Chain A
Amino acid sequence: MVIQYLLGNEAIAHGCMEAAIDVACGYPGTPSSEVIDTLRIVPDRAFKVEWSVNEKVAFEQALAVSWCGLRSICTMKHVGLNVAADPLMVSGYTGTKGGFVILSADDPFAHSSQNEQDSRCYARFARIPCLDPSSIQEAHDMVRDAFELSEKFSLPVLFRPTTRICHSKSDVSLKDTRVSERKALFEKDPRQYVVIPAHTRLLHKLLNKKQPEIKRWLVDSGYNRFEIKGKTGIICGGIAASYVREIAAPDTSIAIIGGYPIDEEWLCSFISQHDKVLVIEELAPVIEETARGVAGTVPVLGKITGHVPFEGEMSPERVMTYLKAAGFSTTKEYEITSEPVAVPIRSPILCAGCMHRTAMYAIRKVFKDAIYPSDIGCYTLGIQMGTVDTTICMGASITVASGMSLAGESRDIICTIGDSTFLHTGIQGLMNAVYNGANITVVILDNRITAMTGHQPNPNTGITACGDVVPAISLEAICRACGATFVETVSPNDLVTFINTLKEAKSKNGVKVIIARQPCVISEKRQKISRGRYCVNHDTCIGCKACIKFGCPAIELHEGLAYITNLCSGCGVCVQICPVGAIGREVKE
Chain B
Amino acid sequence: MSFDIMIVGIGGQGTILTSNIIGRACVIEGIPVRGAETHGMAQRGGSVESQIRIGQIFGPLISPGNADLILSFDLLETVRAAHWLKKEGEIFTSREFVVPTSVYMQDYPAPDEHMLLSMLGEACYILLDTIKIAEEAGNVLTQNVVLLGAASRKIPLSSESLKQAIRETVPKKTVDLNLKAFDLGVEAGKNP
Interface residue from A30, A164, A337 paired with B41 (Cβ < 8 Å): A30
Q: B41 contacts A452, CB within 8 Å?
A: yes
Q: With A170-B33, A316-B61 known to touch, is A342 a contact of B119 (CB < 8 Å)?
A: yes
Q: Is A339 an interface residue when CB atoms closer than 8 A count as contact?
A: yes
Stretch at the interface among B21-29, B152-160, B171-179, B180-188: B21-29
Q: With A5-B26, A171-B33, A344-B102 known to touch, is A338 a contact of B41 (CB < 8 Å)?
A: no
List the A residue with the shortest CB-CB distance to B22: A5
Q: Is B80 an interface residue when CB atoms closer than 8 A count as contact?
A: yes
Q: A348 contacts B58, CB within 8 Å?
A: no
Q: B104 contacts A111, CB within 8 Å?
A: no
Q: A243 contacts B58, CB within 8 Å?
A: yes
Q: Is A575 an interface residue when CB atoms closer than 8 A count as contact?
A: no
Complex Cα distance, B79 from A549, in Å, reads 27
B168 CB, nearest partner CB in chain A, Å: 10
Q: A350 contacts B44, CB within 8 Å?
A: yes
Chain B: number of interface residues, binned into ranges? 35 or more
Interface residues of A in 532-570 (CB under 8 A from B): 548-549, 551-553, 555-557
Interface residue from A4, A334, A347 paired with B65 (Cβ < 8 Å): A334
Complex Cα distance, B45 from A552, in Å, reads 11
Q: A246 contacts B119, CB within 8 Å?
A: no
B84 CB, nearest partner CB in chain A, Å: 8
Complex Cα distance, B175 from A379, in Å, reads 37
Interface residue from B34, B64, B111 paired with A317 (Cβ < 8 Å): B64
Q: B58 contacts A169, CB within 8 Å?
A: no
Q: Is A436 an interface residue when CB atoms closer than 8 A count as contact?
A: no
Q: B36 contacts A169, CB within 8 Å?
A: yes
Chain A: number of interface residues, binned into ranges? 35 or more
Q: B102 contacts A5, CB within 8 Å?
A: no
Q: B34 contacts A168, CB within 8 Å?
A: yes
Q: Is B161 an interface residue when CB atoms closer than 8 A count as contact?
A: no
Q: With A112-B42, A243-B59, A557-B104 known to touch, is A348 a contact of B34 (CB < 8 Å)?
A: no
| Chain B 68-100 per-residue mask, 1 if CB under 8 angstroms from chain A, else 0 | 000000001101101110000000000000011
| Chain A 128-144 per-residue mask, 1 if CB under 8 angstroms from chain B, else 0 | 00000001000000000
Q: B37 contacts A169, CB within 8 Å?
A: yes
List the A residue with the shortest CB-CB distance to B74: A346
Q: Is B164 an interface residue when CB atoms closer than 8 A count as contact?
A: no
Complex Cα distance, B48 from A346, in Å, reads 9
List B contacts of A7 (CB < 8 A): 37
Q: B35 contacts A170, CB within 8 Å?
A: yes
Interface residues of A in 166-207 (CB under 8 A from B): 167-171
Complex Cα distance, B42 from A380, in Å, reads 12
A391 CB, nearest partner CB in chain B, Å: 12
Interface residue from A5, A317, A381, A548 paired with B104 (Cβ < 8 Å): A548
Q: B101 contacts A171, CB within 8 Å?
A: no
Complex Cα distance, B78 from A532, in Å, reads 32
Q: Report which residue of B23, B26, B33 has the largest number of chain A beta carbons within 10 angstroms of its beta carbon.
A: B23
Q: Is A245 an interface residue when CB atoms closer than 8 A count as contact?
A: yes
List A contacts of B38 (CB < 8 A): 111, 167
List B contacts of A530 (CB < 8 A): none
A79 CB, nearest partner CB in chain B, Å: 14
Q: B34 contacts A169, CB within 8 Å?
A: yes
Q: B40 contacts A453, CB within 8 Å?
A: yes
Q: Is A336 an interface residue when CB atoms closer than 8 A count as contact?
A: yes
List the B residue with the shortest CB-CB distance to A343: B80
List B contacts of A335 (CB < 8 A): 65
A12 CB, nearest partner CB in chain B, Å: 14
List the B residue with the shortest CB-CB distance to A558: B110
Q: With A346-B47, A381-B41, A548-B105 known to touch, is A164 a contact of B36 (CB < 8 Å)?
A: yes
Q: Is B124 an interface residue when CB atoms closer than 8 A count as contact?
A: no
Complex Cα distance, B101 from A555, in Å, reads 8
Complex Cα distance, B23 from A246, in Å, reads 20
Q: With A170-B33, A343-B79, A378-B41 known to touch, is A556 a contact of B27 (CB < 8 Å)?
A: no
List the B residue with the shortest CB-CB distance to A34: B39
Complex Cα distance, B35 from A351, in Å, reads 27
Q: Is A293 an interface residue when CB atoms closer than 8 A count as contact?
A: no
Q: Is B11 an interface residue when CB atoms closer than 8 A count as contact?
A: yes
List the A residue with the shortest CB-CB distance to B61: A315
Q: Is A481 an interface residue when CB atoms closer than 8 A count as contact?
A: no
Q: A348 contacts B27, CB within 8 Å?
A: no
Q: Is A469 an interface residue when CB atoms closer than 8 A count as contact?
A: no
Q: With A5-B24, A242-B59 known to touch, is A346 a contact of B44 (CB < 8 Å)?
A: no
Q: Is A340 an interface residue when CB atoms closer than 8 A count as contact?
A: yes
Q: Is A284 an interface residue when CB atoms closer than 8 A count as contact?
A: no
| Chain B 95-127 per-residue mask, 1 if CB under 8 angstroms from chain A, else 0 | 000011111110010010000000100000000
> A243-B58, A317-B63, A346-B100 given. 4 additional CB < 8 A pairs?
A112-B39, A170-B33, A243-B61, A316-B59
Report 13 cross-chain contacts, Cβ distance below 8 Å, ordered by A residue: A111-B38, A167-B38, A168-B34, A168-B60, A169-B20, A170-B32, A170-B34, A245-B58, A338-B83, A344-B103, A346-B46, A349-B46, A351-B45
Binding site for A on B (CB under 8 A): 10-11, 19-20, 23-24, 26-27, 32-47, 52, 58-66, 76-77, 79-80, 82-84, 99-105, 108, 111, 119
Binding site for B on A (CB under 8 A): 3-5, 7, 30-31, 34, 111-112, 135, 164, 167-171, 239, 242-243, 245-246, 315-317, 320, 334-340, 342-351, 378, 380-381, 452-454, 548-549, 551-553, 555-557
Closest 9 CB pairs of A and B: A348-B46, A112-B40, A169-B35, A5-B23, A30-B40, A242-B59, A168-B60, A246-B58, A317-B63
